Amino acid sequence: MAGKRSCGPFVWKEEYSVNLDLIDNHHKKFIDILNNLHSVISHKPSREDISDIFFSLVYYAENHLVNEEIYLKESEYSSFNQHKEKHNSFVGRIIKFQKDFKEGKQDVCEDLYDFLKDWLKNHILKDDREAISSLKEDHNK
Ligand SMILES: [Fe+2]
């Protein structure tokens, strides 16, 4: 059986687009981080390599998630609170992974990779797309 991480690297596809550069560019950035992590864990990572990944993730969370929230709030997205709750939970998990890493817990990278893959599939390619398309429907009414 192939290893569970054999499915990388992920490649951005036009069908992922929500037709908003602000959001698409950040989603592309997220895929870069995911691929960086994949590449790092394939080659005996140093602690510095992993620290860099956490730095990118915290930056992603502070910039992208907040910008997206501002956009959804200003657009009066009806499920804004639930969406923000998912972002908060994502940030909470990243902080927990970072803490585990600092404390020397084994397998943090593998678990983090699985968690980020899940976020790509269930949030970026699902929740975010649903949010943006529901706004477009509202605006066309
Ligand atoms: Fe989101």
Give residue for tokens 């804004």. 80
CA of 90 to the centre of ligand 1 (A): 10
CA of 53 to the centre of ligand 1 (A): 20
HSE, CB side, 13 Å, CA atoms: give it for residue 103: 8
Average pLDDT value over all residues in the chain: 89
CA of 124 to the centre of ligand 1 (A): 6
pLDDT tens-digit profile of 70-105?
Answer: 999 999 999 999 999 999 999 999 999 999 999 988
What domains can be seen in the chain, in order of their start residue? 21-140 (1.20.120.50)
CA of 46 to the centre of ligand 1 (A): 31
Measure CA 88 to chain center: 12
Give CA separation, 69 vs 17, 28, 48, 72, 86, in Å.
18, 18, 31, 5, 11
Average pLDDT per 10 consecutive residues for the chain, totaling 141 residues: 56 89 92 93 87 93 92 95 97 95 89 95 95 81 61
CA distance linking residue 101 with residue 19, whole number of Å: 36
CA of 9 to the centre of ligand 1 (A): 22
What does pTM read for this prediction?
Answer: 0.88
Do the beta carbons of residue 50 and residue 102 sit within 8 Å? no
